[in-house]
Amino acid sequence: MPEIIDLLDKSRIKELLRQFSDAFGTSVILLDKNEDLLFTFPENMHHTDLMKEPVYLRDSIVGYVGIPKADNPPRSSLCFIGRNMTEIIGMGFEVDSLSGEVAKNYEELSLLRSLSTRLGAALNVDKICNELADEVMNFCPSKNVSILLRSDMLADTLSTSYIVGSKNLVPESRKTMLFTKVALGAYSSSASMMSLSTDRGLLKHAFDKKEPLTVCDVSADERFEGFTYPVSRLLIVPLIVEDSFIGAIVATDKLDGEEFFSTEIKLLFSIASYCAISIKKALLYDGIRSLLFSTAEAFSLTIEAKDVYTYGHSKRVSDIAAEIFKELGLPPEIINWIRLAALLHDIGKIGTPENILNKKGRLDIHEMDMVKQHPLSGAKMIEQIPMLRDLSQWILHHHERYDGSGYPSRLSGDSIPMPSRVIAIADVFDALTSDRSYRKAYTKGEALKIMRESLGKELDPVLFGYFEKIVSLLP
């Protein structure tokens, strides 16, 4: 229970004593709950024998008001003063509590707002975990802050069984291990290597209780195990979505040396709940995207299987195009879509007769016209899938030439979609550096020489500059 002088401002107390003194024509004294003197009015007055009345806060005595018996006051005056002090202190305490509550709620809302603004509709697990770790570190500066995720949910270990929700296909051992996704702070390198089991120790306790767990001294807690870096104080906040655990926030040793306070823990739990939903959504999105990519890759390989000379061509074009776009500084989300478009750029060849695709000699005009249908056929196929509709235009124009002499629309320069111009560069490079029925593959140097001669005619010279920067990375 707080002291009475913590509940009211000193000048306010003195003013109240003065008012009571004026109203009842007597000296007034304020004592603490141990009946030690705090204030008197008039100041510095001496008193020996007092009538006292307790001052309460929520049924507990926090002090006394007193009047010297020598002043011979009526008892009712003292009761009035005591009751008034109790009411004033009670109101002040409630206002303080409400202000504190409002401030905490405001802080919580501000943090959630800041997180939601920064995460937006983020569908990238790394981004969400990094933002979450940053936020925890800013709010509660600690020696280490880690975000751990269940191993069967990490993007690089995603399985089809997770995507379709068939839990029995996921090995039990992978459901009970958490791996570090992000680690910040003094021990980030050792923390990033850490994995923890959820079926024992502190994590099990936190997960069983479905609430945060804090330990003030891990050396005295036999449940503490598995950490790869020095820890004294510890906070574990589980990441829970729809009653199932997807991971945990682990913060260790606040930099100010204090314990993790209940207000901080409550707030971090709110943030964790918000981020857990975002992480789950992003993981599902990753899973669907992986499935889409593996399906597209399998599809392109099936088409290319008709021709031994072009087998794997689309995958290589996709990898080269992605490298060019990385060099251009595009964000990973965009690069993934372009990678997919490159993977599917020749999908329209599914409608091109096999004897034409595999013809050893030159194609006649009629056969060439049939081959030239493949960008349009491919674009029409992709257009049928709403999620991939934007990609259809990039596929449609991948055989346009920079000087406007290409097909199907004879677009030129910047009017050709930029992804189509990049796919064209990757397409030509891979074709030149691959064996054909009528010639051996050109070396990388020979291919570059041939391509340089077509700049401004077939290929975009500016984008080719970016391609040249990454060409040394290519096999």
Where does this chain bind Fe ion (CB under 5 A)?
346
Which one, 238 or 406, has the nearer CB to Fe ion?
406
CA angle 450, 452, 454 (to 5 degrees): 80
Which one, 227 or 394, has the nearer CB to Fe ion?
394
Query: Residue 26 is encoded by which pair of tokens?
Result: 């007597």
Closest distance to Fe ion from the beta carbon of 464 (Å)? 18
Which one, 151 or 377, has the nearer CB to Fe ion?
377
Distance CA 25, CA 126 (A): 72
Closest distance to Fe ion from the beta carbon of 317 (Å)? 9
Closest distance to Fe ion from the beta carbon of 456 (Å)? 21
DSSP symbols for 157-197: G--HHHHTT-GGGS-HHHHSEEEEEEEEETTHHHHTT-EEE
Closest distance to Fe ion from the beta carbon of 292 (Å)? 21
Closest distance to Fe ion from the beta carbon of 211 (Å)? 57
CB atoms within 10 A of CB 165: 8
Residue 138 · residue 144 · CB < 8 Å: no
Which one, 248 or 424, has the nearer CB to Fe ion?
424
Which one, 376 or 470, has the nearer CB to Fe ion?
376
Closest distance to Fe ion from the beta carbon of 332 (Å)? 25
75, 221, 333 from 70: Cα distances, Å: 13, 61, 85
Residues in the chain: 475
C-alpha torsion 55→61→64→69, nearest 10 = 100
Closest distance to Fe ion from the beta carbon of 359 (Å)? 16
Distance CA 63, CA 73 (A): 20
Residue showing tokens 């990490």: 154
Closest by Cα among 281, 231, 280 to 260: 231
DSSP symbols for 397-456: TTT--TTS--SSS---GGGS-HHHHHHHHHHHHHHHTS-BTTBPPPPHHHHHHHHHHTBT
Closest distance to Fe ion from the beta carbon of 408 (Å)? 11
Sequence-ordered list of residues with C-beta below 8 angstroms from that of 65, at least 6 positions apart, any chain: 20, 28, 29, 30, 31, 52, 53, 55, 78, 81, 82, 85
Q: Which residue is nearest to Fe ion (CB)?
A: 346
Which one, 30 or 379, has the nearer CB to Fe ion?
379
Which one, 304 or 346, has the nearer CB to Fe ion?
346
- Backbone φ/ψ region at 4: left (φ over 0), alpha (ψ -120 to 50), beta: alpha
Which one, 163 or 376, has the nearer CB to Fe ion?
376
Closest distance to Fe ion from the beta carbon of 399 (Å)? 6
Which one, 150 or 421, has the nearer CB to Fe ion?
421
Dihedral sign for Cα atoms in the order 152, 153, 154, 157: positive
